[in-house]
């Protein structure tokens, strides 16, 4: 398993170094302008074919995320939040409608093109912290820079910067099992922002945490929106954190109400 993972990392590393080079050459990224639309979703539908039947999961979603906004998607289990988040991150594509990201059509790009955009401009955070268990907080964040093709000379400074931003400067060399759930989620955030994405997508990032730890994670989100110029779109069941959102979309049975 470890050998397979390493081989994949090497392949990924090569491909992503090329990307990093291309990125520098084309300097494609748009300048940051708070309040400008970063992501817009136009009449998106997602229909799955299951056992010969059509399952209509997203039914005409219309939404936007502006630069430096914290947007929350709330809704009951099964309402379609994860399906929508997968479409926003290009892991899935709408059956109808369109998603525009950073001023360009996104959902209509090829799989390879979406992967390039995702690796460069997006970061992902999940409910279960998705850390490598045998690596320290430092090594976990460093791995993310290695995977993104960031030049080695920048790793030390950026790892320190990201772990400090999430308030873990005193825990940099701890491994996940030596950290609380909230601290592990903050390492996952440091990992997700290390390559300087412009959009963070988070699926129930506080679901495994108690109220105090959830509040810490939300404070970190608010901090990185300002300091890293990132926008965040997250799903949640937790009504107590909705008040820190700039905008809340409530999903019921595949539609916003
Ligand atoms: N690949 C798929 N194929 C078929 N049906 C799917 C697929 N993905 C999701 N669904 C169905 O779509 C519906 C919405 O699922 P989704 O995971 O988006 O909901 P959710 O709001 O994120 O729920 P939860 O809060 O429990 O994660 C569910 O009925 C699910 O079974």
CB of 25 sitting under 6 A from ligand 1: no
Q: How far is the centre of ligand 1, averaged over its atoms, from the C-alpha of 77 (Å)?
A: 8
Cα 138 from Cα 113, distance rounded (Å): 30
- Residue range of the domain that includes 228: 2-256
pLDDT bucket at 126, cuts 50 / 70 / 90: confident
pLDDT bucket at 29, cuts 50 / 70 / 90: low
Phi, psi of 128 (to 5 degrees): -95, 125
Instruction: Give the residue from 70, 28, 14 showing the smallest Cα distance to 220.
Output: 70
Length of the chain: 257
CB of 75 sitting under 6 A from ligand 1: yes
Q: How far is the centre of ligand 1, averaged over its atoms, from the C-alpha of 113 (Å)?
A: 25
pLDDT bucket at 130, cuts 50 / 70 / 90: confident
pLDDT tens, residue by residue, 42-100: 999 999 999 999 999 999 999 999 999 999 999 999 999 999 999 999 999 999 999 99
Angle, helices 155-165 vs 137-147, to 10°: value is 120
Cα 19 from Cα 242, distance rounded (Å): 37
Answer whether residue 1 shows pLDDT above 80: no
What distance separates the 2 farthest-apart alpha carbons in the chain?
55
How many domains does one find in the chain? Answer: 1
Tokens encoding 110: 């090829």
Q: How far is the centre of ligand 1, averaged over its atoms, from the C-alpha of 47 (Å)?
A: 11
CB of 77 sitting under 6 A from ligand 1: yes
CATH of the domain at 27: 3.40.50.300
Q: How far is the centre of ligand 1, averaged over its atoms, from the C-alpha of 135 (Å)?
A: 32
Answer whether residue 232 shows pLDDT above 60: yes
Q: What is the pLDDT of residue 106?
A: 98
Residue closest via CA to ligand 1's atom 18 equals 80
pLDDT bucket at 33, cuts 50 / 70 / 90: confident
Cβ neighbours for 256, distance < 8 A, ≥ 6 positions apart: 61, 62, 63, 249, 250
More confident residue, 95 or 23: 95
pLDDT bucket at 111, cuts 50 / 70 / 90: very high
Instruction: Give the residue from 206, 171, 165 showing the smallest Cα distance to 185.
Output: 206
Tokens encoding 236: 């949640």
Answer whether residue 22 shows pLDDT above 70: no
CB of 86 sitting under 6 A from ligand 1: no
Cα 17 from Cα 146, distance rounded (Å): 9
pLDDT tens, residue by residue, 135-168: 999 999 999 999 999 999 999 999 999 999 999 9
CB of 216 sitting under 6 A from ligand 1: no
Number of H helices, E strands in the chain: 7, 10
Q: How far is the centre of ligand 1, averaged over its atoms, from the C-alpha of 48 (Å)?
A: 10
What average pLDDT does the segment 91-113 reach? 97
CB of 252 sitting under 6 A from ligand 1: no
Answer whether residue 102 shows pLDDT above 50: yes
Cα 239 from Cα 236, distance rounded (Å): 8
What average pLDDT does the segment 113-135 reach? 92
pLDDT tens, residue by residue, 178-221: 999 999 999 999 999 999 999 999 999 999 899 999 999 999 99
Residue closest via CA to ligand 1's atom 7 equals 48
**Going along the chain, which residue ranges are E strands?**
37-50, 53-66, 70-75, 96-101, 104-105, 122-125, 199-203, 231-236, 247-252, 255-256
Q: How far is the centre of ligand 1, averaged over its atoms, from the C-alpha of 51 (Å)?
A: 15
CB of 254 sitting under 6 A from ligand 1: no
Tokens encoding 26: 């084309």
Q: What is the pTM of this model?
A: 0.88
Q: How far is the centre of ligand 1, averaged over its atoms, from the C-alpha of 85 (Å)?
A: 11
CB of 57 sitting under 6 A from ligand 1: yes
CB of 50 sitting under 6 A from ligand 1: yes
């Amino acid at each position: 398993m470890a050998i397979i993972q390493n081989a994949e990392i090497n392949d990924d590393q090569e491909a992503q170094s090329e990307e990093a080079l291309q990125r520098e050459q084309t300097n494609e990224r748009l300048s940051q302008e708070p309040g400008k639309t970063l992501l817009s979703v136009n009449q998106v539908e997602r229909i799955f074919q299951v056992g010969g039947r059509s399952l209509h999961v997203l039914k005409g979603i219309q939404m936007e995320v502006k630069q430096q906004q914290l947007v929350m998607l709330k809704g009951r289990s099964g309402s379609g939040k994860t399906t929508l988040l997968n479409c926003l991150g290009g892991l899935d594509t709408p059956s109808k409608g369109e998603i525009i990201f950073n001023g360009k059509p996104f959902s209509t790009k090829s799989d390879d093109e979406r992967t390039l955009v995702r690796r460069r401009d997006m970061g992902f955070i999940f409910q279960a912290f998705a850390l490598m268990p045998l690596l320290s907080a430092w090594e976990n964040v460093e791995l993310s820079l290695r995977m993104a093709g960031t030049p080695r000379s920048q790793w030390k400074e950026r790892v320190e910067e990201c772990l400090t931003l999430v308030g873990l400067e005193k825990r940099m060399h701890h491994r996940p099992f030596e950290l609380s759930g909230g601290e592990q989620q903050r390492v996952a955030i440091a990992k997700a922002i290390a390559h300087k994405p412009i959009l963070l997508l988070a699926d129930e990032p506080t679901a495994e945490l108690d109220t105090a730890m959830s509040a810490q994670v939300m404070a970190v989100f608010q901090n990185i929106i300002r300091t890293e110029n990132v926008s965040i779109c997250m799903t949640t069941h937790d009504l107590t954190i909705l008040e820190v959102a700039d905008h809340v979309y409530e999903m019921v049975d595949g539609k916003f109400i």
